[in-house]
């Protein structure tokens, strides 16, 4: 990444984790920014325009396979984050960042990269809505969340692939296991509806996730020397506050008394 003419950028870039220098998409934030911008363009303009006069695609089998893949992918990432530290070694209250080439530290860094990569596979959630002409399911929250998560995950993988704030990736991946399991079952159609009474509780789990990760991030404010950059916890806390508010608003709107019937038929993947 060229920073020769910007002392500020040089200073920021010097804080990167050099272990991931040569990993795919890690040499600069620009490819990730470009992919996120392309996502926004396709979702808000190109996709709806191309589908305007076309018949909706029947993607049931494709979506079943996709959701099953996402469940397996999320389970694997969750396992990697657990065995790399959170299962036995990491402290919930203060976990330093290990930038060594220790096998476990490298395994956690790799898990951080795959977590980052998984944010791009989630773009298909929105693409399937567009191809099926389910544009009402593409809420502002949905687009914002999917559109900025790769940037947040890139920054974390680039600078802190492990340590205290990897708890957020751990919890988020667990939520994804539950969420994609729900959508895997929902894709089979009406005959599975009686097993899907817990959709409302899935949204509650998402809100609980943001509150818990926010609380966890704020522990560093009370730590004298945790060995983890507090600026990363500030970034994480801001992210959690934003989506805690947005998801709380979504929950209040979707499950209010006036929208109770609509909520039962809605199928919005928001995480």
Which one of the listed residues 22, 142, 145, 201 is annotated catalytic? Answer: 145
Question: Taking the chain, what is the end-to-end CA distance rounded to the nearest angstrom?
Answer: 31
Residue 145 bears catalytic tag: yes
Q: Under 8 Å CB-to-CB from 157, ≥6 apart: which residues? A: 20, 26, 109, 112, 113, 115, 116
Return the DSSP state at 55.
Answer: P
Rounded to whole angstroms, the Cα distance separating 164 from 237 reads 13
Rounded to whole angstroms, the Cα distance separating 217 from 187 reads 36
- Residue 190's Cβ-count burial label (10 Å; 0-12, 13-18, 19+) is exposed
Q: If phi over 0 gives left and psi between -120 and 50 gives alpha, with beta otherwise, what is residue 130?
A: alpha
The answer to whether the CB of 211 falls within 8 A of the CB of 241 is no
Max intra-chain CA distance, the chain: 62
The answer to whether the CB of 110 falls within 8 A of the CB of 36 is no
* Residues with active-site annotation: 145
């Amino acid at each position: 990444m060229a920073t020769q003419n910007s002392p500020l950028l040089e200073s920021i870039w010097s804080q990167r984790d050099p272990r991931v220098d040569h990993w795919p998409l890690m040499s600069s934030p620009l490819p990730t920014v470009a992919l996120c911008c392309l996502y926004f363009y396709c979702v808000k303009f190109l996709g709806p325009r191309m589908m305007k006069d076309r018949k909706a695609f029947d993607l049931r089998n494709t979506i079943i396979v996709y959701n099953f893949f996402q469940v397996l992918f999320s389970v694997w990432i969750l396992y990697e984050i657990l065995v790399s530290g959170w299962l036995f070694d990491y402290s919930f209250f203060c976990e330093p960042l290990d930038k060594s080439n220790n096998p476990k530290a490298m395994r956690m860094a790799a898990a951080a990269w795959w977590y980052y990569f998984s944010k791009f596979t989630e773009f298909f959630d929105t693409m399937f809505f567009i191809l099926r002409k389910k544009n009402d399911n593409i809420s502002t929250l949905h687009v914002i969340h999917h559109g900025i998560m790769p940037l947040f995950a890139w920054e974390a993988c680039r600078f802190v692939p492990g340590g205290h704030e990897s708890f957020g990736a751990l919890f988020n991946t667990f939520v994804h296991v539950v969420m994609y399991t729900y959508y895997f079952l929902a894709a089979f159609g009406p005959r599975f509806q009686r097993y899907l009474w817990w959709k409302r509780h899935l949204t509650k789990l998402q809100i609980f996730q943001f509150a818990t990760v926010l609380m966890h991030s704020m522990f560093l404010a009370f730590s004298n020397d945790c060995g983890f950059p507090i600026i990363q916890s500030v970034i994480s806390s801001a992210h959690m506050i934003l989506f805690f508010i947005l998801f709380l608003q979504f929950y209040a709107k979707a499950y209010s008394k006036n929208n109770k019937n609509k909520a039962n038929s809605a199928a919005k993947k928001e995480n």
